[in-house]
Amino acid sequence: MKENKEYIIMPQREKDIFVRGIIPDLNVRFLFANIKETLIEIRNLQNLSIQCEALLGETILGAFLLTTREIKQEHEVIGIHIEGDGAVKKILAFASSFGGVRGIIVPEDASWEGKIYKGKGKGILQVNKFKLNSKKVYSSAVEMRDVPIAKNLEEYISKSDQINAFIGIYSFYDSNNPLLPVEVYGYFFEVLPDTKIEQIDKLTNFIYKTDMIEFLKNIFGEQIYEQKKELKQQFSVRILQSGSIFFYCDCNAGKIENVLFTLGKDEVFQILEEQKQIEITCEFCKKKYIFTENDIIRLFKEKE
Ligand SMILES: [Zn+2]
């Protein structure tokens, strides 16, 4: 028999990437990032409307940008929890400093008039920092105004940390063509301690005089090397780290078992009686966890 080998050339997967570094002349730290492929993955898992995909994408990128401050702490996770009065009631987004992200938006099929940020309206924005080594969680909440996510995060940083930071997050999509991917770009500049006023002025000048959308698109597009050169010509830039952003859910049976424990023995056994088994779906990755009667009996025995 003749061997029929077929070679399929796979298109190179466009990656969601980030670049961290510092501009020594200005004494600022920066993080540039974009997400597209990760959002397609989340959209497919959760059946998001295109506007929800864009708003969730902005929030996830926002959580990732906040990891700028945590570069020394490896495997630190930042969570953003939004409760608003717009068409979207709740958004949860998590990002780790190494690039793993996940999130949900409720309801997932919302739509609204006007700009993307209008979907969340106003309400409460909470930022949670999970220190994985010490297993501690640090939370602080601020009032969320009816302004873009990037603006809300700038306000959060100036209130909670009292530092100067400049954040921009831009999402692009075609509402007439909801099958096309949503792309989100973002930057974060953090002014480091002991920065002179002139240095801050130079940075603000750079941000306001530069078309930041074009700047970011170029960084993540074909002209990445050219752009870096250009940035280098204006200021000397030191790239500290670059990597990719990807969907990452850290759910596991143990965590789901803890959810069952918090429900309590009586409640769990009542559900078991009605449904014969307990099925819990992770809201982030949609993985199903099924517990039979034997599993439940064993679980609560171990706990006691
Ligand atoms: Zn999961």
Q: How far is the CA of 139 from the centre of ligand 1 (A)?
A: 22
Q: pLDDT in tens for each of the 304 residues of the chain?
A: 444 444 434 344 457 989 888 999 999 999 999 999 999 999 999 999 999 999 999 999 999 999 887 556 556 899 999 999 999 999 999 999 889 999 999 999 999 999 999 999 999 999 998 877 777 788 999 999 999 999 999 999 988 877 889 999 999 998 888 888 999 999 999 999 899 999 999 999 989 988 888 888 877 765 455 555 566 567 788 888 888 999 999 899 988 888 888 888 899 999 889 988 999 999 999 999 999 999 988 888 876 6
Amino acid at residue number 44: N
Q: Which residues contact 215 (CB under 8 A, 6 or more apart)?
A: 187, 227
Q: How far is the CA of 150 from the centre of ligand 1 (A)?
A: 27
The last residue of one of the domains, among 218, 247, 276, is 247
Name the DSSP class of 17: E
Residue with tokens 């990807």: 246
Whether residue 72 sits in one domain with residue 194: yes
Q: How far is the CA of 289 from the centre of ligand 1 (A)?
A: 10
If one counts the domains in the chain, the total is 2
Whether residue 286 sits in one domain with residue 234: no
Residue 5 resides in a domain: no
Whether residue 51 sits in one domain with residue 189: yes
What's the gap between Cα 83 and its chain centre?
Answer: 16
- Domain membership of residue 262 as a residue range: 253-303
Segment 89-137, tens digit of pLDDT: 999 999 998 899 999 999 999 999 999 999 999 999 999 988 777 777 8
What whole-number distance in Å separates Cα of residue 299 and Cα of residue 211?
57
Q: How far is the CA of 61 from the centre of ligand 1 (A)?
A: 19
Q: What are phi and psi of 96, to 5 degrees?
A: -105, 155
The pLDDT value recorded for residue 7 is 42
The pLDDT value recorded for residue 9 is 41
Strand partners, 33: 18, 186
* CA–CA distances in Å: residue 23 to residues 96, 202, 237, 279: 23, 11, 5, 51
**Which residues make up the environment of ion ligand 1, defined by Cβ < 5 Å?**
249, 251, 282, 284-285, 287
Q: How far is the CA of 281 from the centre of ligand 1 (A)?
A: 8
What whole-number distance in Å separates Cα of residue 117 and Cα of residue 290?
37
Amino acid at residue number 250: D
What CATH number should be reported for the domain holding residue 26? 3.55.30.10
* Rounded-to-10 torsion of CA 233, 234, 240, 242: -80
Q: Is-contact 230 9, C-beta < 8 A?
A: no
How many CB atoms neighbour CB 237 within 10 A? 20
What CATH number should be reported for the domain holding residue 298? 3.90.1280.10
Residue 7 resides in a domain: no
Instruction: State the DSSP H helix or E strand holding residue 232, giving kind and residue range, or none if neither.
Output: helix 224-234
The helix/strand/coil state of 65 is helix
What's the gap between Cα 46 and its chain centre?
Answer: 15
> Which of 287, 248, 266, 241 is CA-nearest to residue 18?
241
Amino acid at residue number 19: V
Q: How far is the CA of 255 from the centre of ligand 1 (A)?
A: 10
Q: How far is the CA of 108 from the centre of ligand 1 (A)?
A: 17
Instruction: State the DSSP H helix or E strand holding residue 171, giving kind and residue range, or none if neither.
Output: strand 165-172
The pLDDT value recorded for residue 263 is 87
> Which of 189, 42, 53 is CA-nearest to residue 101?
42
Whether residue 275 sits in one domain with residue 224: no
Q: Is-contact 65 91, C-beta < 8 A?
A: no
Which of left, alpha, beta for 94 (phi over 0: left; psi -120 to 50: alpha)?
Answer: beta
Q: How far is the CA of 43 from the centre of ligand 1 (A)?
A: 15
Segment 153-194, tens digit of pLDDT: 999 998 887 788 999 999 999 888 888 899 999 999 999 989
Question: pTM of the predicted model, to two decimals?
Answer: 0.88
Q: How far is the CA of 248 from the centre of ligand 1 (A)?
A: 8
Whether residue 214 sits in one domain with residue 264: no
